[in-house]
């Protein structure tokens, strides 16, 4: 259950970042996840911490 929440949170955050700056980051989801570009690790870390803590 926690693993699924973490996966969902990570994918959602990466897609959000890509939508905010499509020139710097692209995310494609098929069998796996293909990510190309610059990731804001601070934002991603906060999302992961929130998912682990049970946040939204």
* Domain range summary for the chain, segments of one domain joined by +: 2-53
pTM of the model: 0.89
Residue 32: phi and psi, rounded to 5, are -135, -150
pLDDT in tens, 15-43: 999 999 999 999 999 889 999 999 999 99
Q: Which residues does residue 29 pair with via DSSP β-bridges, in sequence order?
A: 33
Cite the beta strand spans of the chain per DSSP E.
25-29, 33-37
pLDDT above 90 (res 54): no
pLDDT above 80 (res 55): no
Contact 36, 25 (CB under 8 A): yes
pLDDT given for residue 56 in this prediction: 58
Counting every residue written for the chain, the total comes to 56
């Amino acid at each position: 259950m926690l693993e699924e929440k973490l996966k969902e949170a990570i994918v959602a955050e990466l897609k959000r970042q890509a939508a905010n700056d499509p020139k710097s980051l692209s995310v494609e989801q098929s069998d796996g996840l293909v990510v190309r570009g610059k990731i804001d690790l601070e934002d991603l870390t906060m999302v992961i911490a929130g998912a682990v803590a049970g946040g939204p």
